[in-house]
């Protein structure tokens, strides 16, 4: 049978970074094919080359046996390729039917009669594939799951026979997730070929016909779920090679030999339930505590509640229920200003959104949270001289590459911006630090620096909560480790019990009753 898609030796570079290093991928008619890999493995990039969003630097793409060179998604759509992005591309105030014809080149006027025909066609498609949608409904009234069906329906309306879904379950509730895959199965049975990108092992094993695993821009292998196991997939995903373990080898001896702390916890949360931005539950009954001188890593892949946890811990998001305590006192209802004063620090996961203010200078950014406090002046006057002195010192101590303290923070590279954030946070009197994705997007040298700083802070007696999607980071830094999956803490290990494969498995959602502890609440510290 002719292959729906055949991609050969696809290479894609972004500057000096090679995102895809000669990847082969093929898709058969009527199959559901899972594309599996860690963050940054190149899954989305590969599919974007197929969808015409990114031209590959090398390699060939054939659709139905004919070689193609897509210059834009329009070209790909014309050949029957449709893509549903992780973040939906819908106009909330328009109806389903209006969204379906968005971007179509027709006459200058959109006639009611034409739209009626579109609605009819959409209703027909929806009925045929069991997508169950009202073409006249306005998108803002729809749930996330329904919006996703609108995207699928729109792709079908545009004639897609090859459907790419990028992280389809990332924003769905578990119930919606359960409903999605049977519908995809119906589609496939009707002859469509489906690729879905994911890092959830559970979805892959239950629903894929074939699985292709990518790691760091290379294809590790393609196999059937029946030939494989969650364990093997996890191993393939994360690899046995240890990328950065050597970097902190020196530090490891310090962190590794540390005895489990017996002091009272600095920060603890109990039974936290919180909603995400869309109002769907993001955290369910999360409990843990962290003591002075230890790093508690909360590992997890994207879309499982880490950002919400970060926000709840720092008072940026109010939980629906549960309790946050700092040094024994309840701080659940307090804001970041209060928590800063109590000695909580945050290295935010999005450093440009929360960490630095681009329009202000490096010197100003280094004391953002301390203006008006001695020695940086009083409420009546800022002491610019002290601020400059502090900046000079921190720039030196944290090796921030700048032309001077007056350089605007917006011109710093990612690594330097992160050094700035760390310098500010760690130069305060702290009891506890929440570090969220502290090395995301950094190069090896910067990663090493951040890890050293965190380890040093821990050794000074700080309690550190490390939220990370990076397995290497978790394995290198954690004194204890939990995994967050779909909003719940699903496992807990001490440093000695840490095992790459088991952590990887748990991050992918595979159930492993042998280690899965209900939650850490039961742990007495």
Partner 1 sequence: MSVSQATARLIAPPRLSRRLRAILASAGAVLLSLVVGGLLIVIAGGDPLSAYRSLLDGALGTPYGIGQVLVLAIPLVIIGLGLALAFRGRVYNIGAEGQLFMGALASGVVAILLPVGFGPLLIGLAILAGVVAGAGWGAIVGLLRAHWGVNEVITSLLLNFVAILIFTYVVRRPLRAPGSPDLQGRAIQPEAALPALPDLAVHIGLFLALALVPLAAYVMARTPFGFRVRMLGFNAEAARTAGVRSGRMVVGLMLISGGLAGLAGALQILGVAERLDPGISQGYGFTAIVVALLGRLNAVGVLLAALFIALLQSGGQAMSVIEGVPYAIVLAIPGVFVVFLLIADRLARSY
The least distance separating partner 1 from the CB of residue 365, rounded to whole angstroms, comes to 9
Q: What is the 3-state secondary structure (H, E, C) of 457-479?
A: HHHCCCEEEEEECCHHHHHHHCC
- Distance separating alpha carbons of residues 480 and 338, to the nearest angstrom: 27
- Distance separating alpha carbons of residues 504 and 238, to the nearest angstrom: 7
Q: Which is nearer to partner 1, 68 or 357 (CB)?
A: 357
Per DSSP, 354 falls in state I
Q: Which is nearer to partner 1, 93 or 378 (CB)?
A: 378
Of the candidate spans 105-113, 114-122, 195-203, 362-370, the one that interacts with partner 1 by CB under 8 A turns out to be 362-370
Q: Does 336 bind partner 1 (CB under 8 A)?
A: yes
- Distance separating alpha carbons of residues 39 and 216, to the nearest angstrom: 9
Decide: 19 and 29 in contact? Cβ < 8 Å: no
What tokens were used for 4?
Answer: 């729906």
Per DSSP, 139 falls in state G
Q: Does 335 bind partner 1 (CB under 8 A)?
A: yes
Of the candidate spans 178-186, 359-367, 454-462, 489-497, the one that interacts with partner 1 by CB under 8 A turns out to be 359-367
- Distance separating alpha carbons of residues 32 and 42, to the nearest angstrom: 19
Q: Does 371 bind partner 1 (CB under 8 A)?
A: yes
For residue 60, list its beta bridge partners: 8
- Residue list 261-320, contact with partner 1 (CB under 8 A): 314, 316
Q: Which is nearer to partner 1, 69 or 378 (CB)?
A: 378
Q: Does 408 bind partner 1 (CB under 8 A)?
A: yes
Q: Does 388 bind partner 1 (CB under 8 A)?
A: no
Q: Which is nearer to partner 1, 111 or 358 (CB)?
A: 358
Closest alpha carbon to 426 in 402, 407, 444, 400: 400
The least distance separating partner 1 from the CB of residue 487, rounded to whole angstroms, comes to 23
Q: For the beta carbon of residue 495, count every other beta carbon within 10 angstroms.
A: 20
- Distance separating alpha carbons of residues 11 and 166, to the nearest angstrom: 20
SS3 state at 31: coil
- Distance separating alpha carbons of residues 468 and 462, to the nearest angstrom: 18
* Residues making up the chain, counted from first to last: 525
Q: Which is nearer to partner 1, 402 or 422 (CB)?
A: 402
Q: Does 353 bind partner 1 (CB under 8 A)?
A: yes
Q: Does 406 bind partner 1 (CB under 8 A)?
A: yes
Q: Does 443 bind partner 1 (CB under 8 A)?
A: no
The least distance separating partner 1 from the CB of residue 236, rounded to whole angstroms, comes to 38
Q: Does 94 bind partner 1 (CB under 8 A)?
A: no
Q: Which is nearer to partner 1, 104 or 373 (CB)?
A: 373
Q: Does 342 bind partner 1 (CB under 8 A)?
A: no
SS3 state at 52: coil
Of the candidate spans 175-183, 322-330, 334-342, 466-474, the one that interacts with partner 1 by CB under 8 A turns out to be 334-342
- Binding pattern for the stretch 477-516 against partner 1, x by CB under 8 A and - elsewhere: ----------------------------------------
Counting residues that bind partner 1 (by CB under 8 A) gives 35
- Distance separating alpha carbons of residues 145 and 168, to the nearest angstrom: 9
- Distance separating alpha carbons of residues 172 and 205, to the nearest angstrom: 18
CA-to-CA separations, 419 to 313, 395, 454, in angstroms, rounded: 22, 9, 12
The binder of partner 1 chosen from 90, 274, 312, 340 (CB under 8 A): 340
Query: In sequence order, which residues have a C-beta less than 8 Å from that of residue 508 and are 6 or more positions away?
Result: 199, 200, 201, 202, 230, 233, 234, 237, 301
Q: Does 144 bind partner 1 (CB under 8 A)?
A: no
Closest alpha carbon to 323 in 75, 190, 521: 521
Q: Which is nearer to partner 1, 316 or 498 (CB)?
A: 316
Of the candidate spans 21-29, 247-255, 274-282, 348-356, the one that interacts with partner 1 by CB under 8 A turns out to be 348-356
Q: Does 9 bind partner 1 (CB under 8 A)?
A: no
The least distance separating partner 1 from the CB of residue 96, rounded to whole angstroms, comes to 28
The least distance separating partner 1 from the CB of residue 405, rounded to whole angstroms, comes to 12
Question: Strand locations in 472-515, DSSP E?
Answer: 480-485, 488-494
Per DSSP, 351 falls in state I
Q: Does 101 bind partner 1 (CB under 8 A)?
A: no
The least distance separating partner 1 from the CB of residue 364, rounded to whole angstroms, comes to 7
Q: Does 429 bind partner 1 (CB under 8 A)?
A: no
SS3 state at 278: coil
- Distance separating alpha carbons of residues 313 and 325, to the nearest angstrom: 9
The least distance separating partner 1 from the CB of residue 380, rounded to whole angstroms, comes to 6
The least distance separating partner 1 from the CB of residue 494, rounded to whole angstroms, comes to 31
Q: Which is nearer to partner 1, 251 or 310 (CB)?
A: 310
CA-to-CA separations, 250 to 338, 452, 477, in angstroms, rounded: 37, 10, 12
The least distance separating partner 1 from the CB of residue 484, rounded to whole angstroms, comes to 21
Decide: 388 and 363 in contact? Cβ < 8 Å: yes
Residues that bind partner 1 (CB under 8 A): 314, 316, 335-337, 340-341, 346, 348, 353-360, 364, 368-369, 371-372, 377-382, 401-403, 406-408, 411
């Amino acid at each position: 049978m002719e292959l729906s898609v055949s991609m050969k030796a696809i290479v894609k570079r972004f500057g000096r970074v090679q995102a895809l290093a000669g990847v082969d991928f093929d898709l058969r008619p009527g199959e559901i094919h899972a594309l599996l890999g860690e963050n940054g493995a190149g899954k989305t990039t590969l599919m974007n080359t197929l969808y015409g969003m990114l031209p590959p630097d090398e390699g060939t793409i054939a659709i139905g046996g004919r070689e193609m060179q897509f210059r834009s998604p329009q070209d790909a759509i014309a050949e029957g390729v449709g893509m549903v992005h992780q973040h939906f591309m819908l106009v909330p105030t328009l109806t389903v039917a209006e969204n379906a014809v968005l971007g179509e080149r027709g006459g200058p006027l959109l006639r009611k009669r034409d739209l009626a025909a579109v609605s009819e066609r959409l209703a027909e498609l929806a009925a045929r594939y069991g997508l169950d949608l009202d073409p006249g409904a306005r998108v803002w009234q729809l749930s996330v799951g329904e919006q996703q069906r609108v995207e699928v329906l729109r792709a079908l309306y545009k004639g897609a026979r090859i459907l790419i879904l990028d992280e389809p379950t990332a924003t769905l509730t578990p119930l919606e997730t359960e409903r999605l895959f049977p519908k995809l199965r119906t589609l496939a049975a009707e002859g469509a070929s489906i690729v879905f990108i994911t890092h959830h092992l559970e979805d892959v094993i239950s629903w894929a016909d074939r699985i292709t695993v990518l790691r760091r821009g290379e294809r590790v292998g393609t196999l059937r779920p029946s030939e494989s196991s969650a364990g093997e997939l996890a191993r393939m995903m994360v690899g046995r090679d240890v990328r950065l373990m050597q970097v902190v080898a020196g530090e490891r001896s310090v962190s590794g030999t540390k005895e489990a702390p017996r002091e009272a916890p600095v920060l603890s949360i109990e039974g936290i339930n919180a909603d995400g931005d869309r109002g769907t539950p993001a955290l369910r009954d999360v409990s843990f505590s962290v003591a002075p001188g230890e790093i508690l890593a909360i590992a997890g892949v994207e879309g499982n509640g880490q950002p919400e946890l970060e926000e709840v811990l720092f008072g940026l998001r109010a939980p629906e229920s549960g309790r946050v305590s700092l040094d024994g006192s309840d701080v659940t209802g307090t804001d970041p200003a209060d928590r800063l004063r109590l000695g909580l620090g945050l290295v935010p996961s999005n450093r440009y959104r929360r960490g630095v203010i681009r329009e202000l200078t490096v010197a100003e950014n280094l004391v953002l949270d301390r203006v008006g406090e001695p020695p940086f002046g009083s409420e009546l006057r800022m002491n610019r001289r002290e601020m400059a002195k502090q900046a000079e010192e921190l720039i030196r101590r944290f090796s921030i590459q700048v032309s001077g303290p007056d350089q605007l923070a917006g011109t710093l590279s990612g690594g330097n911006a992160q050094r700035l954030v760390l310098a500010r946070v760690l130069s305060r009197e702290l009891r506890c630090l929440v570090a969220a994705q502290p090395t995301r997007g950094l190069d090896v040298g910067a990663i090493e620096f951040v890890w050293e700083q965190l380890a040093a802070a821990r050794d000074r007696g700080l309690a550190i909560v490390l939220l990370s999607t990076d397995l290497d980071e978790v394995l290198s830094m954690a004194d204890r480790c939990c995994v967050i999956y779909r909003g719940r803490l699903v496992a807990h290990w001490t440093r000695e019990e840490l095992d790459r494969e088991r952590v990887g498995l748990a991050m992918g959602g595979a159930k492993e009753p042998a280690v899965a502890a209900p939650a850490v609440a039961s742990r007495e510290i």
